[in-house]
Structure formats: C-alpha cells, structure tokens
Amino acid sequence: MIYLIPILVVLPLIGLIFGLFTSSKTEKQIGLLALIITSLHIILTPITIVYWFFVGNMNLKEIILYKSIEYEFFIDFYFDHVTAVYLWTGSLLTFMVTIYSKYYLHLEKGYKRFFNSMFLFFLGYNIVVLSGNFETMFIGWEILGISSFLLIAFYRDRYLPIKNAMKVFSIYRIGDVGLILTMWLSHHLWHENITFAKMTNEDIVIGHLTSHSILGTSISIFILLAAIVKSAQLPFSSWLARAMEGPSPSSAIFYGSLSVHMGAFLLMRTFPFWENQLVVRIIVGVLGLTTAFISNYIARVQPSIKGQIAYSSSSQIGLMFLEIALGLEYLALFHFMGNAFLRTYQLLIAPSTVAYLIKEQFYTYNEEIKHQENSLYQKIKNSFYVLSIKEWYLDYFMYRFLWLPLKWAGKTFHFIGNPFILSILLAIYIISRILLHNKISFLPAVEQQLPIVYSLFGLMFIVRSFSERYNVFLAFGLIVMSHLWIDLSVSFNQYFTLDHTLIYLSGILVSGLVGFICLFNLKNKNEKLDLTNFHGYAENHKKTNFIFLLATLGLAGFPITTAFLGKDLIFTHIQSEQILITFITSVCFVVDGIATLRIYTRLFLGEYKKELV
C-alpha cells in the first residue's frame, strides 16, 4: 500500500510522457489522457489518505541516485497530515480544472501544450508535497518553476506574457537559491541528507541546534527565503499579479491556488526544525502580518479583477504565515484549503463579476463628490493610496535590485566579449585545469584565493552573457564557460574529485552541445539570430524549439541532466564559513537560469514575422 505514494508521483509523469507523443491535431487524445490521469489521481489520493489515517506517518526511502562516503543523494517520500491536505486539495483542483479546461480551451492554439504544461506542473506539485527530504523537494520545486514559466508565457506570441513569465521566473530563481543554500547548510549541520521524518524527532533537532545555533538560524532564514518567494510575500509580492497572463484556468489553479501556497507548505513541512527558534518564529510572524496588511492595501486599490484576487490571496497567505508562526498549524491548513478553493472559484468566474458588479452599481450607486480636504489626515490617506497604486514600490524594488545591477554588471564586463581577452581567459582555464590534474602546486598562499578568483570569473562570464545583445553563440558559449569556471573554483577549493567534475560537467557539456547544434540548425535555415528582438521561432521550428528548451533547462541545472546532481555536489564542497564563494556561486546560479532562459525566450517566443507572401 505504501507504494501508492510513488504511484501518485509517477501518474502525472506518465501523463507527460504520453502527452508529448499525442497528436497536436486532435484535442481528443490529450484531453482524454488528462482526464484519465487526473481521475486516477483523485481516486488514489483518498485511498492513500485513508491508509495513512490507519498506519500513521509514512516515510519511504526510494532511490539512491548517488552515494559516496561523505555524501548521499536519495529520493525520499514522506506522508503526514500536511501532505494529506495539500495532496487532496491539489488533486481535487487539478481534476476540476482539467474538466474545465477540456472545454474552455477548445480550438485554442496550444491546446496540447497547455495540458502538457499542466502535467509538468502537477508532477512538480506532487513531488514537493510528497517529498521526504530537501533534495527530493528541490526537484519538484524546480519543475514548478519551469512549468510556471511555460504557463505564464502560454500566449507565446505576445509581448507581455513573455516579459512577465521572465520576470516571475527570475524572482522564482531567488527562491530556488534559498533552497539550494538550505540543502548546503543542512549537509554541514547534520552531516547527512536529513529526512523530514527524522526532523520531527525533537531530541535530534534540539541536539544539533544547541551546538550550532547560528547555522540553525541561517538554515531557517534560507527556508524562509524560499517560502516568501513562492508565496508572494514581502518584498516579492509583485510577481503574483503579473503571473495572470495565461488562460484563466491556469491562472486559477497555479497562481491563485496551488503554486502560491507552496511557501506555506515549506514552512509547515520544516516547522519542527524552527519551532524552537524564537527569533525565526517572530520573523515569520511579523513578515506574514506585514504582508497581510500591505498586500491588502494594494488589493483594495486594484482596479482589475485578477490583480485584486492576486493581492488578496497574497494577503491571506500572509495571515497563514502568522498562523504557522503561532503554531496554529491546523488552522493554517484549513485556511489554505479555503483560500485555494475560493481563489480558484473567483478566478474561474472572474468575467461574471462584470455583470454582477455593473448591476450592483446600477442599483446602489449614490452620486457623491469626493472632495479633497486640506488636512494632514487626508494627506496621509492620499499617500497610502498612491503608495498602494504603486504597489509599495515592490515591482520597482525588483527592478532596482535585480535587473539594474545585472545590467550594470553586464556593461562593466563588456570587455570579456573581446576575442583577445576571451582567448587569454580560455588559456588560463586550460592551464589551471592541467595544473590541477597533475596536482602541481605553486604558491599555496595564492592558491587559497584561487577558488574565489575562478568563481568571480564564472560570475563575470554569466553576467556578460546576460547582457549580450547580438551574438547568440557568444552568449550561449559564455554560459557554458561560466559553469566550467565554477567547477574549477570548487575543484581548487576541496577535493572535488574528477568523477564529481564529470557528473557535473557531463550534463553541462551535453546540454551545451545540443544547444549549439540547435543554434547552427537555425542559422542554416537562414533565421536571424540576434538577441535584440523576439523572433518567435517556436511557431515554425517546433522540434528545434523543444530540443533547445531541454538544452536550456539542462544548462540551467534542471533535474533532467546530471548537472542537477552536480550542482548539489558543488555546494557540499564549500564550507559553511566560506561566505564569499557561496555568495558568488549562488548568484551565478540565479543569473545562469535567467540568462539561459532569456536566450530561449528571445529566439523562440514572440511573434514570428513572415517575410514574403
């Protein structure tokens, strides 16, 4: 019976695999497939829950992906009351939205793509909800990120959906790093791959925390970072409203109800860990409450229905954070269900609101002049109003602290694109590699600083790639190179054995190679390959589009190549006190995802312009 758990995870995966092979000409095949998969899921879910009810919490250690003396990466599943509630809600809503979308999307271009993205999302959701350790959860977490990108950019020939998909993805990326760092520090704290089941053991947790309280607090803060990003809490709230670009059902399920509650899930899942850290609980509570208020103000002034729903959802999740911090876990779970159901419903019937409110206005409207008094009270009120209209500068904040520095850095490191400098740096890389391989050591004092220098090179490369506007080969190559630097940096840092390097780089290089082949393929077909415009090649080069997307994801370290595992390995080789390297490496991972997906976006999304009639 316990094997129902992996079956629940595998179901959407089966859907996805079959889905990719269905014909895009008829809607029936994929529609039926989606119905079968979600129906099976909604039948198996209650059975699993009933089983759990009788046997209690379950932990299932599934597959060991990698094992060495000091490090083990395994897939682990866990099932408790939090899982039960999230699983049930997710299964139910996905089932209903599937039925809804089967009709609603009739004749829509991208019908098949929608359901495949939905399978992908559902897969990620199940993995996260059922995960038994951070590593497993992280796989799901990444899948959620990419499926969100695909769903927001569903109307891929339009500018705003693409732009907002990129925006949301970039912010998500910060959350992902929160989780990476959590895993990294966890390894150092527990010296093993800790399972959530083990984390419920209070003695073990307290035992570890008393000796490493700073480490413990840091882990909690990184968990919180991942949680606030996914749940649109301050200061990251502005993405949620901007995610409402796809067809209403996807907005409803993914942003209105399921995806956005994943932060709360993460907090509840890890609650036993930070339960006894008062500071953390205070931070979570205060942050939640502040978001509740500020998002609520923004919701109040929103003049569009979806914007209003997004912000009030974010505001309610703020309250959930508070409830969790107060230890009212069951209330939070109940609250989650209510909020998820309500927002799904509201988004699905959003267009009805027009008729309802226009009628309401017709019968209740009172003409009054809104007079402006010249008082301090009025002034404060106005200030709050303007502030809320401007979303409390939250979107600007993202621009100021995420995009602008990147742009600036890209300009600063422009020289790296110069062929001469590029060849020198390449030479340095090769020499270092040879030195490392032959274990030739020169000045040990310099050597200690090398990891930082190399990781800086990695950062410069990736940032430079991000700002490249014309040469796509350069941009793509720089990304691959950046990974090589990071690998080199870590290799110098600790005994990053050759097999680790192989695990990491094999994924990167294969993805890079595939990507280059795709690019050459496009070039051979006489397509323009600059990065200043959106070219929309997805429309006319369907296969290349799909393969290049996979290559992009591989390069960005998604769980489809060994690079994903390698990414984890890299961090285990950075000590918990090496803050600088950690910082640089994590920034690299953030930018890496953004830069690779930017290339994909520019080339394959947007409006395809035909040349001749």
Of 342-371, which residues contact another protein (CB under 8 A)?
A: 342, 344-346, 348-367, 369-371
338 binds another protein (CB under 8 A): yes
**Would you state the torsion angle of the CA atoms of residues 515, 517, 519, 522, taken in this order, to the nearest 10 degrees?**
-140
Q: Whole-number minimum distance, CB 198 to another protein, in Å? A: 33
270 binds another protein (CB under 8 A): no
Tokens standing for residue 393: 């500068």
Cα–Cα distance for residue pair 125/147, rounded to 1 Å = 10
Q: Work out the burial of residue 269: count CB atoms within 10 Å of its CB; fewer than 13 is exposed, 13-18 middle, 19 or more buried.
A: buried
Q: Whole-number minimum distance, CB 514 to another protein, in Å? A: 32
Of 61, 208, 300, 433, the residue at the interface with another protein (CB under 8 A) is 300
96 binds another protein (CB under 8 A): yes
User: Nearest CA to 572 among 562, 559, 585, 561?
Assistant: 585
Helix (H) or strand (E) holding 83: helix 81-104
Cα–Cα distance for residue pair 583/589, rounded to 1 Å = 10
Decide whether 396 or 583 has the Cβ nearer to another protein: 396
Sign of the dihedral through C-alpha 6, 115, 511, 180: negative
Cα–Cα distance for residue pair 314/264, rounded to 1 Å = 11
Cα–Cα distance for residue pair 208/341, rounded to 1 Å = 39
CB 99 within 8 A of CB 35: yes
Of 247, 276, 521, 576, the residue at the interface with another protein (CB under 8 A) is 247
Cα–Cα distance for residue pair 114/321, rounded to 1 Å = 32
Decide whether 124 or 246 has the Cβ nearer to another protein: 246
Decide whether 376 or 446 has the Cβ nearer to another protein: 376
Q: Residue type for 171, please?
A: I
101 binds another protein (CB under 8 A): yes
Of 13, 14, 44, 337, the residue at the interface with another protein (CB under 8 A) is 337
Decide whether 23 or 448 has the Cβ nearer to another protein: 23
Select the span of 61-69, 154-162, 448-456, 507-515 touching another protein (CB under 8 A): 154-162
Site for another protein in 368-387 (CB under 8 A): 369-372, 374, 378-383, 385-387
Q: Residue type for 383, please?
A: S
443 binds another protein (CB under 8 A): no
Phi (first) and psi of residue 606, to 5 degrees: 100, -175
Decide whether 365 or 495 has the Cβ nearer to another protein: 365
Q: Residue count at the site for another protein (CB under 8 A)?
A: 98
Chain-centroid distance of CA 231 in Å reads 11
Of 11, 33, 84, 105, the residue at the interface with another protein (CB under 8 A) is 105
473 binds another protein (CB under 8 A): no
Decide whether 102 or 198 has the Cβ nearer to another protein: 102
Decide whether 238 or 432 has the Cβ nearer to another protein: 238
111 binds another protein (CB under 8 A): no
Q: Binding marks (x or -) toward another protein, 207..246, rule CB under 8 A?
A: ----------------------------------xx-xxx
49 binds another protein (CB under 8 A): no
User: Nearest CA to 533 among 160, 152, 159, 166?
Assistant: 159
Give the largest CA-CA distance in the chain: 85
Of 39, 68, 211, 304, the residue at the interface with another protein (CB under 8 A) is 304
Q: Work out the burial of residue 191: count CB atoms within 10 Å of its CB; fewer than 13 is exposed, 13-18 middle, 19 or more buried.
A: exposed
Q: Whole-number minimum distance, CB 268 to another protein, in Å? A: 17
597 binds another protein (CB under 8 A): no
Site for another protein in 155-174 (CB under 8 A): 155, 158, 160-161, 164
CB 298 within 8 A of CB 239: no
- CA distances 77 to 13, 16, 368, Å, are 16, 21, 60
- CA distances 420 to 426, 434, 492, Å, are 10, 21, 26
Decide whether 295 or 489 has the Cβ nearer to another protein: 295
Cα–Cα distance for residue pair 591/416, rounded to 1 Å = 17
Q: Whole-number minimum distance, CB 246 to another protein, in Å? A: 6
Alpha helices in 105-237 (DSSP H): 111-130, 134-152, 159-190, 196-199, 202-211, 213-230
CB 504 within 8 A of CB 511: no
Cα–Cα distance for residue pair 69/276, rounded to 1 Å = 32
Chain-centroid distance of CA 577 in Å reads 26
Cα–Cα distance for residue pair 490/12, rounded to 1 Å = 36
- CA distances 229 to 37, 224, 239, 242, Å, are 30, 9, 9, 14
3-state SS class at 572:
helix
Of 71, 334, 429, 516, the residue at the interface with another protein (CB under 8 A) is 334
Of 270, 316, 511, 562, the residue at the interface with another protein (CB under 8 A) is 316
Decide whether 585 or 601 has the Cβ nearer to another protein: 601
407 binds another protein (CB under 8 A): no
Cα–Cα distance for residue pair 271/196, rounded to 1 Å = 10
526 binds another protein (CB under 8 A): no
Decide whether 6 or 235 has the Cβ nearer to another protein: 235
Decide whether 33 or 488 has the Cβ nearer to another protein: 33
Q: Whole-number minimum distance, CB 513 to another protein, in Å? A: 33
Sign of the dihedral through C-alpha 574, 577, 578, 579: positive
Select the span of 169-177, 313-321, 426-434, 573-581 touching another protein (CB under 8 A): 313-321
Decide whether 202 or 530 has the Cβ nearer to another protein: 530
Q: Whole-number minimum distance, CB 153 to another protein, in Å? A: 11
539 binds another protein (CB under 8 A): no
Cα–Cα distance for residue pair 165/239, rounded to 1 Å = 9
Select the span of 72-80, 341-349, 483-491, 497-505 touching another protein (CB under 8 A): 341-349
Of 13, 14, 44, 301, the residue at the interface with another protein (CB under 8 A) is 301
Q: Whole-number minimum distance, CB 383 to another protein, in Å? A: 4
Q: Whole-number minimum distance, CB 309 to another protein, in Å? A: 8
Select the span of 181-189, 309-317, 428-436, 583-591 touching another protein (CB under 8 A): 309-317
Decide whether 206 or 286 has the Cβ nearer to another protein: 286
Site for another protein in 277-296 (CB under 8 A): 292-293, 296
Q: Whole-number minimum distance, CB 386 to another protein, in Å? A: 4
